[in-house]
Chains A and B, each alone.
Chain A
Amino acid sequence: MKNSIRNRFLYSPQVAPYIFLLPFILTFCVFFAYPVCNTILMSFQKVAGAQSVFRGFKNYQLLMNPIFYKALRHSIFYAIVSVILMIIIPLILATLLNAKATKAKTLFRGIMFIPALTSVVVAGTIFRLMFGELENSFFNQAIALFSHGPIVWLRNSATVWFALFMLCTWRWTGVNMMYYLAGLQQIPKELYESAEVDGANVFQQFFAITLPLLKKTNVYVLTISIYGGMAMFTESYILFNGNSSPNNVGLTVVGYLYRMGWEQNQIGLASATGCILLVIVMGINIIQLICNGTLKKEALK
């Protein structure tokens, strides 16, 4: 009897959705809500062993140091430039690949997607060795063709950025191009036909039809690129074989968090760094979602 009441309860269409939701609610509480609250709390504490002492905004004040600023500047700069690269290059490639005259589309599409299959570790290793400092490494051989002497690529900040953006472009162009191709294929062909009848040239068509109708794709690519850019760590970690780079040229916000949390055992400072990263990325995302109308009530239902 008891059994059947329990069964009727569990099997009723009113209760079932919550049973379906249960795994999400559990993991949300344990592995998301708790860590977020924990990190916010710890960012106001001096954490030492089992005892933690509340210390107000001291951690945040301590964060206002030149090295953290440098890390933050690097992450923001990386995010901005990679956003520009990751929108312009894939957009151009997708438009050209989508053109009627292009042959062997599937083949080219496939080849351009290949880098996305490699892990950041493998890709980073390849680029680390291509940007080796001796004159025989690939990029030094390449610039030797233009009679330029060998460069110690991974020491100077300008060349470090070059290496990082090369790596980023190489790995992500194919994926973003696929997003743009999907977006392009949703644009009705008739629009271009009537534009052609009206005498609009290819560039006019691109700016008057293609670009405005790709707004959703643009916003999506923008968001994931900012997100990925602000949280960049592994690329720099592999390129410099660890979290330290000469004069911190490759230090990012996550790298700083890792240094504080794992290498220097400054849990409070690491937590404060985590909170700042969280606020920045969420802020950007929420602005984007509001602009894009995704947070409207109907979309959530």
Chain B
Amino acid sequence: MRKNKTPIQSTLLVLFFTFVSALILLPLLLLFVSSLRSGNDLMRYGLNFNVDWKSANLNNYRLLFSKETPYFIWYFNSLVLMIIQVAISLFLSAWVGYAFAMYDFKLKTICFTLVLLIMMVPMESIMLPLYRLTIKMGNIDTFQGIVLPFLVVPMLIFFFRQYLSGLPRDFLDAARIDGCNEYRIFFAIMVPLMKPSFAAMGIYQGMTSWNNFLWPMIVLRSSTKITLPVGLAGLISPYGNNYDILIAGSCFAIIPVLILFTLFQSYFIDGMTAGGVKG
């Protein structure tokens, strides 16, 4: 009886998850298939599976790679911004998180409550004063305008603090006796120990930055400085005259991420769900 039950259950479960997976992949499949159709077609019919395979071609991608569209300028901007944001915010947040994990000092509880407080406030509710501040600082339409307000990421501080709290503090005392100063302890001992968390947090921050839309849309103006999501959003229009670039460009924005994801699946999942219940 029992022996029979499991294979049936397994088959049902696998069938169920195959169905769910198909549903989830369907929109992406539609996108990829549609990227082989002409822009006029896309405009007229939207996304569907009625593809005339004989006339399917890579023209949209050819257009994408040609000099006529600023697509790769946007791509490059997004890439540069992502690298800058990941590097700076990882370093600074680890730096701050270290203080919370390894030291006891007077203002600790207050400061950590402030970290939690920022995590609770949606950036959207203060985006207007932030925007006005960015204007005052002369940072409109620049990369520093995007990066500066989010240099230290509370979520990352929280994560690094959790991660470092798990390490024994004896390290510190031993190093101090050996004559290491506080900052060398951080760079020479702690940073190497933090490597695994840098990978997860780098992916978290990288994905956030790569997909970020609202703030870059507000800060950036000129068509040579905007990022990929902002540029793509600008291609959507009721007249549909840019749908060839829009669809092919959307595909090309996902493909590198998909490749990286298949290679480093568990890092992605760990990083992007790091806010979860470990705390």
Q: Are A108 and B17 in contact, with the CB atoms below 8 A?
A: yes
Residues of A within 8 A of B16 (CB): 96
Q: Are B50 and A136 in contact, with the CB atoms below 8 A?
A: yes
- Of the candidate stretches A54-62, A63-71, A203-211, A269-277, the one touching chain B is A269-277
Q: Are B148 and A31 in contact, with the CB atoms below 8 A?
A: yes
Known contacts A101-B10, A119-B211, A120-B211; A24 and B233 CB within 8 A of each other: no
Q: How far is the CB of A270 from chain B (nearest CB, A)?
A: 5
Q: Are B108 and A32 in contact, with the CB atoms below 8 A?
A: no
Residues of A within 8 A of B75 (CB): none
Max count, chain A CB within 10 A of own CB: residue among B25, B28, B98, B113? B28
Within 8 A of B (CB), among A121-149: 121-123, 125-132, 134, 136-138, 141
Among B114, B125, B228, point to the contact of A277 (Cβ < 8 A): B125
Interface check B111, CB cutoff 8 A: yes
Closest-by-CB residue of B relative to A97 is: B17
Closest-by-CB residue of A relative to B229 is: A121
Q: Are B151 and A300 in contact, with the CB atoms below 8 A?
A: no
C-alpha gap A145/B80 in the complex (Å):
47
Interface check B79, CB cutoff 8 A: no
Interface check B200, CB cutoff 8 A: no
Known contacts A21-B99, A32-B118, A241-B236; A114 and B28 CB within 8 A of each other: yes
The main secondary structure of chain B at its interface with chain A is: helix
Q: Are B126 and A127 in contact, with the CB atoms below 8 A?
A: no
Q: Are A129 and B47 in contact, with the CB atoms below 8 A?
A: yes
Interface check B189, CB cutoff 8 A: no
Interface check A104, CB cutoff 8 A: yes
Q: Are A20 and B254 in contact, with the CB atoms below 8 A?
A: no
- B35-69 vs A, Cβ < 8 Å mask (1 yes, 0 no): 00000001011111110000000000000000000
C-alpha gap A217/B277 in the complex (Å):
6
Interface check A109, CB cutoff 8 A: yes
C-alpha gap A118/B157 in the complex (Å):
25
Q: Are A119 and B210 in contact, with the CB atoms below 8 A?
A: yes
What number of residue pairs across chains A and B have CB atoms under 8 A from each other? 293
C-alpha gap A38/B133 in the complex (Å):
10
C-alpha gap A280/B230 in the complex (Å):
29
Interface check B191, CB cutoff 8 A: no
Known contacts A182-B276, A257-B124, A300-B112; A121 and B233 CB within 8 A of each other: yes
Among B28, B47, B114, B126, point to the contact of A137 (Cβ < 8 A): B47
Q: How far is the CB of A76 from chain B (nearest CB, A)?
A: 14
Among A31, A104, A217, point to the contact of B133 (Cβ < 8 A): A31
C-alpha gap A273/B164 in the complex (Å):
39
Among B20, B28, B30, B268, point to the contact of A113 (Cβ < 8 A): B268
Q: How far is the CB of A225 from chain B (nearest CB, A)?
A: 13
Within 8 A of A (CB), among B52-104: 92, 95-96, 98-99, 103
C-alpha gap A103/B117 in the complex (Å):
42
Known contacts A35-B129, A114-B261; A231 and B124 CB within 8 A of each other: yes
Q: Are B115 and A35 in contact, with the CB atoms below 8 A?
A: no
Q: Are B129 and A271 in contact, with the CB atoms below 8 A?
A: yes
Closest-by-CB residue of A relative to B41 is: A136
Interface residues of A, CB < 8 Å — how many?
104
Q: Are B125 and A278 in contact, with the CB atoms below 8 A?
A: yes
Closest-by-CB residue of A relative to B130 is: A35
Residues of B within 8 A of A136 (CB): 44-46, 48, 50
Interface check A297, CB cutoff 8 A: yes
Interface check B27, CB cutoff 8 A: yes
Interface check A162, CB cutoff 8 A: no
Interface check A102, CB cutoff 8 A: yes
Q: Are B233 and A141 in contact, with the CB atoms below 8 A?
A: no
Known contacts A38-B129, A126-B31, A134-B45; A23 and B272 CB within 8 A of each other: no
Closest-by-CB residue of B relative to A230 is: B122
Interface check B182, CB cutoff 8 A: yes
C-alpha gap A119/B218 in the complex (Å):
17
Closest-by-CB residue of A relative to B21 is: A111
Residues of A within 8 A of B98 (CB): 20
Q: Are B14 and A104 in contact, with the CB atoms below 8 A?
A: yes
Closest-by-CB residue of A relative to B207 is: A117
Interface check B121, CB cutoff 8 A: yes
Residue contacts A-B, CB under 8 angstroms, 26 given:
A14-B105, A23-B152, A24-B111, A32-B121, A36-B121, A39-B125, A42-B128, A97-B17, A103-B10, A104-B14, A108-B20, A109-B269, A111-B21, A112-B21, A113-B269, A117-B261, A138-B49, A231-B124, A233-B214, A261-B128, A261-B131, A270-B128, A271-B128, A285-B120, A294-B116, A300-B108
Interface, chain A (partner B; CB < 8 A): 11, 13-14, 16-21, 23-25, 27-28, 30-32, 34-36, 38-39, 42, 93, 96-97, 99-104, 106, 108-123, 125-132, 134, 136-138, 141, 170, 173-175, 178-179, 182-183, 186, 216-217, 220, 224, 227, 230-231, 233-234, 237-238, 241, 254, 257, 261-262, 267, 270-271, 274-275, 277-278, 281-282, 285-286, 289, 294-295, 297, 300-301
